[in-house]
Structures are given as structure tokens and as C-alpha cells.
């Protein structure tokens, strides 16, 4: 039950922060959904750092990792909003923006995880 509470608390914090960041940026950049893109990429970077740091040493307990990676990063990033926004772009015949948003999110997301794992090697 403690683990569920940790995921719940971390997810709530991540979701609230995602809302505060993505809401204003998605209004300004409505064809690219910059807010969702940024929270997903930053979330990928963070989870790479957290999981890489966790695997490297014993400073993070399994509960810390659960709170940060599963809870916070899980709540902070959003696949459902990403999918809905892609659907909206297709519906509006914005095929260029759909392609740009989809490919950049996947490629930059994977690169951000790799960067986070690499950066975690330098954390003590």
C-alpha cells in the first residue's frame, strides 16, 4: 500500500506541474503543442537520469525510484494528450505539423533518455 501512495503522490505532483507548463505553451504554439512536447522530452530526460542514477549506486531506494520515475515522471509526461493532439492535427489536415510533432517527439524523446542515462554517470 505504501508503494501505491508513493506513486499517487508523485503522479499528482507531476500532473500538476505538467498542467502549469503545458497549458500556456500549447495556447501560444497551437500547431505544434510545444507544452506537451517539452514536458514529454523533459520527462524522458528525467527518467533517464533517475533510472541511470538508481542503477549506478544505492543512494536512491526502490521507494524513491518508484516515487520519482513511476509517480512523478509518469504523471508529468502524457501519452494520451500527445495522441489526442496528433488526432487533432490529422482532423485539421495539418499533415506537416502532424509529421513534425510525431517524429520529433519520438526521436528527441529517445535521445533525451539516452542523454539522461549518460548524465547519470556523472552524478554522485
CB 116 within 8 A of CB 44: yes
Read off the C-alpha cell for 47: 527518467
CB 98 within 8 A of CB 90: yes
Do the annotations mark residue 102 as ligand-binding?
A: no
Closest CA to 15 of 39, 47, 41: 39
Q: Taking the CB of residue 101, how many other CB atoms lie within 10 A of it? A: 21
Do the annotations mark residue 74 as ligand-binding?
A: yes
Binding site members: 74, 77
Binding site members for Na(+): 74, 77
Amino acid at each position: 500500500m505504501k508503494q501505491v501512495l508513493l506513486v499517487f503522490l508523485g503522479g499528482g505532483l507531476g500532473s500538476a506541474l505538467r498542467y502549469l507548463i503545458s497549458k500556456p505553451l500549447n495556447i501560444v504554439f497551437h500547431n505544434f503543442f510545444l507544452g506537451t512536447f517539452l514536458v514529454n522530452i523533459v520527462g524522458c530526460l528525467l527518467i533517464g537520469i533517475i533510472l541511470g542514477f538508481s542503477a549506478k549506486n544505492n543512494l536512491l531506494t526502490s521507494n524513491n525510484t518508484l516515487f520519482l520515475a513511476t509517480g512523478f515522471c509518469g504523471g508529468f509526461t502524457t501519452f494520451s494528450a500527445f495522441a489526442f493532439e496528433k488526432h487533432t492535427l490529422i482532423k485539421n489536415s495539418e499533415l506537416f505539423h502532424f509529421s513534425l510533432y510525431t517524429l520529433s517527439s519520438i526521436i528527441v524523446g529517445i535521445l533525451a533518455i539516452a542523454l539522461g542515462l549518460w548524465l547519470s554517470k556523472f552524478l554522485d
